[in-house]
Structure 1
Amino acid sequence: MVELLILILFVISGAATGWMGVHLLPQELLAAGTDVELVRWGLTSGGAVIGLVAGLVFRRLRLQLMRQVRTMPTDLLVSRAVGLILGLLVANLLLAPVLLLPLAGSSALVKPLAAVISNVFFGVLGYNLAEVHGRTLLRLFNPTSTEALLVADGVLTPATAKILDTSVIIDGRIRGMLACGLLEGQVIVAETVIDEMQKLADSTNLEKRAKGRRGLKLLTELRESYGRRLVINTTRYDGAGTDDRLLQLTEDTGGTLVTADFNLSQVAQVKDLKVMNLSELVIALRPEVQPGDELKLKIVREGKEESQGVGYLEDGTMVVVDDARTLIGSRHPVVVTGALQTPTGRMVFARLDEGTSAKTAKSGKPSRSGKGKSSKPNNPNERDTAGPR
């Protein structure tokens, strides 16, 4: 009943506007011999049709808004309402000089047109700003809160919004970071990222399709787990690709771009934007291994040089052990002798402890110094795959 009443009001408003709008037409169109009544009824019919279309659009928007309001947290609802009100207030303040201009005839149509455009533009702008910076906006209206005082004293730093790149969503590690509390603040997913994952999910390439579906599934799980923390940003930016649009979104919101793409992180740093590279974060979180540390390591394969063996730490760091080539498949204590940081990760060098080295020497196994028995393979048909020293 309410929806039908709203449609009737829109139709009546459109028809009334067309009926009375005939006086705003230029006098040239109402020359002698023109049937004014016919023009009036034409405008009335057109206004009624436009009012009906506007009523249907308003009805759909109203249903969507009510659906969101029922599931929206109170603080987010209040912040969006305040942002919308502030946007409309700014629009009308800027519009006041235009409304005071003495325009006559057809130029008078500029006033209602400017009023509609300015109110829509600034209203949407205030709504979007409140969606991203809602907590900061509410803090302005309650400056005596404990959180606001801590921020003012510099004890508490406000958390910036985290903007997710397609690479970190497909990677899947973002879920563990959120669960461990490594990421604070709101998590923003741009519409362009969702579009890119949808294209991947619809791709004919099996690998790309699997990545796209995995990313969309992860977003669904994050939405169910974190609710209001996950925000879908629907702002459409002009750009050559997803990376350009993400950089514009990061610049506009002042958030932190979370990515696993090395090139994208470098571009963000060049533009002086906040960026978090997951690859660099993983390297930074690896436990430090100092020369002289003793480890219990399993030798899993041969090294590049003769007599070297290779093992791995729990975090995946590769450890190259001297004189351990013949100990593949067994676990032995080793002593760290050094470490090397590379662009792709870290490499640790180690040697067998003195007890294991003595046992190896007594058994006649090969050593790096060349002492001991011959290092020829037992099977003469085997080929030595070790590289040059």
Structure 2
Amino acid sequence: MKRALELIMSLIVTAATYALMHVVLFMDLFNLQKKLPVYVPTAISVIVGFIFYFIFSSPLSELLMKRISQTEDRLSKMNLKELALSVIGCFVGLVLANLIGLAFNGFGALGTFIVVLLNVIFGILGIRVARRKKDDVNVRSLKEVLMTTPPSTTEDSIYGRPKILDTSVIIDGRILDLLQTGFIEGKIIIPDFVLEELRHIADSADSLKRQRGRRGLDILNEIQKQLAVPVEIKEFATAQPMEVDSMLLKMADSMDAFVVTNDFNLNKVAEFQGVRVLNINELANAIKPVVLPGEEMKVTIIKAGREAGQGVAYLNDGTMIVVEGGSKHIGETKTVIVTSVLQTAAGRMIFTKMIAAA
């Protein structure tokens, strides 16, 4: 590769020297056209090419290959959105440069040089502007603008989008049961920075945090064994350091994916930024059995309530039941009647009163 690059550069220098010699002879500035033999421009061009090849080609080719390698590394680190916008920005810059360059078509060699210079400047400028404005472009909005299929088709295909798991939902563990049921479709994405956060939690000096982190890693191992759901560990990096939640939302936006979480604050921030979220807690509340006022149920009162005379019981799904007058019957199973149901951000609370014995 290096040797081929050296030969190509030397041939370019030889050709450029030959063209320059012809320009000098054509303009006849030094009255050399009649004095020099015809073969002199060719001989001088070949000599200059050999000198360049043996002296300058090796260091210049090494420098060029180093620059190419750096450019390749930068391009490989770009996500698909950033790379596409950079290409579009470069294309727009080149179009503008050539439109402006039409005014210099009649200026000969000087006009050609100006056009080439405009292409280089506007091409680089287009790439730099596109990369700086990449965060202002919403992939989902652009997709909706360019989408030609009917809205119903888009709505049907939305369930196949990737699902990105955050740290809290992995540690919680219910996502494993949900995946086993087959209700979630699409690829499951585990970001590398979420894995790193889990590893830090698992190595914590606090025994409770350490236990939660190890539970999260065990859940991930079980998720990877699910044959029905494809799982991918994906690397993602940003130009500036960010918190895990911010990186999670930016990754979801760039991939047009859902974030699966049970973090209330992350849910609100995601809604504000227009990122789709699947909240496990909201799902759990939605599928709890509906209880209507006037229904009877049997509950075991396990502790006293906050207010005087109240007792507290729980359903199998964790729903809290407040029993009026139940504080005197702790540890007993009683038949109660539902008086009202209160839905809160933390879950559902059922208020009941005991049925008087006949």
Structure 1 residue 174, shift from structure 2 partner: 1.7
Matches within 5 A, 1:192-211: 192-211=193-212
After superposition, the Cα gap between the structure-2 partners of 1:19 and 1:210, relative to the gap in structure 1 and judged at 3 Å, is: farther
TM-score normalised to the size of structure 1?
A: 0.57
Please name the residue that 2:181 is paired with.
180
Match for 2:333 among 327, 331, 334? 331
Partners of 1:45 and 1:211 in 2: CA distance: 58
CA contact (8 A) 2:164 2:189 kept: yes
Which residue identity does 1:181 align to in structure 2?
Answer: G
Structure 1 residue 308, shift from structure 2 partner: 3.1
After superposition, the Cα gap between the structure-2 partners of 1:281 and 1:209, relative to the gap in structure 1 and judged at 3 Å, is: same
Please name the residue that 1:261 is paired with.
263
Structure 1 residue 42, shift from structure 2 partner: 4.6
CA contact (8 A) 1:11 1:55 kept: no
SS at match of 2:158: coil
Partners of 1:200 and 1:21 in 2: CA distance: 59
- Structure 1 residue 158 corresponds to structure 2 residue 162: no
Match for 2:283 among 271, 281, 284? 281
CA contact (8 A) 1:310 1:321 kept: yes
CA contact (8 A) 2:186 2:229 kept: no
Structure 1 residue 194, shift from structure 2 partner: 3.1
Structure 1 residue 249, shift from structure 2 partner: 2.6
Which residue identity does 1:41 align to in structure 2?
Answer: F
SS at match of 2:171: helix
Match for 2:303 among 301, 304, 318? 301
Tell me how many residue pairs correspond in the alignment: 299
Comparing 87-96 with 284-293, which one deviates more in the overlay? 87-96
Please name the residue that 1:13 is paired with.
4
Structure 1 residue 163, shift from structure 2 partner: 2.5
Describe the superposition over 1:30-62 as per-residue Cα deviations: whole angstroms up to 9, x where unpaired: xxxx997565335444477679989999xxxxx
Which residue identity does 1:259 align to in structure 2?
Answer: T
Partners of 1:354 and 1:39 in 2: CA distance: 106
Please name the residue that 1:218 is paired with.
219
Please name the residue that 1:321 is paired with.
323
Matches within 5 A, 1:350-369: 350-355=352-357, 358=358
Partners of 2:307 and 2:150 in 1: CA distance: 61
Matches within 5 A, 1:126-165: 152=153, 156-159=156-159, 160-165=161-166
After superposition, the Cα gap between the structure-2 partners of 1:237 and 1:283, relative to the gap in structure 1 and judged at 3 Å, is: farther
Gapped regions of structure 1 (runs ≥ 5): 1-9, 28-33, 58-79, 126-131, 359-389
- Structure 1 residue 40 corresponds to structure 2 residue 37: no
Structure 1 residue 217, shift from structure 2 partner: 3.9
Partners of 1:221 and 1:19 in 2: CA distance: 60
Structure 1 residue 298, shift from structure 2 partner: 1.4
CA contact (8 A) 1:250 1:257 kept: yes
After superposition, the Cα gap between the structure-2 partners of 1:103 and 1:208, relative to the gap in structure 1 and judged at 3 Å, is: farther
CA contact (8 A) 2:189 2:233 kept: yes
Structure 1 residue 316, shift from structure 2 partner: 0.8
Comparing 206-215 with 263-272, which one deviates more in the overlay? 206-215
TM-score normalised to the size of structure 2?
A: 0.61
Structure 1 residue 312, shift from structure 2 partner: 0.8
Please name the residue that 1:380 is paired with.
none
Percent identity (aligned): 29
Match for 1:232 among 234, 242, 248? 234
Which residue identity does 1:279 align to in structure 2?
Answer: N
Aligned-residue CA RMSD (Å): 5.0
Structure 1 residue 285, shift from structure 2 partner: 2.0
Partners of 1:305 and 1:155 in 2: CA distance: 48
After superposition, the Cα gap between the structure-2 partners of 1:212 and 1:18, relative to the gap in structure 1 and judged at 3 Å, is: farther
Structure 1 residue 151, shift from structure 2 partner: 5.3
Partners of 2:221 and 2:51 in 1: CA distance: 57
After superposition, the Cα gap between the structure-2 partners of 1:298 and 1:172, relative to the gap in structure 1 and judged at 3 Å, is: same
Comparing 38-47 with 239-248, which one deviates more in the overlay? 38-47
Partners of 1:218 and 1:20 in 2: CA distance: 62
After superposition, the Cα gap between the structure-2 partners of 1:275 and 1:45, relative to the gap in structure 1 and judged at 3 Å, is: same
Matches within 5 A, 1:89-104: 104=113
CA contact (8 A) 1:311 1:318 kept: yes
After superposition, the Cα gap between the structure-2 partners of 1:283 and 1:248, relative to the gap in structure 1 and judged at 3 Å, is: same
Structure 1 residue 270, shift from structure 2 partner: 2.0
SS at match of 1:354: coil
Comparing 233-242 with 343-352, which one deviates more in the overlay? 233-242
Partners of 1:234 and 1:155 in 2: CA distance: 27
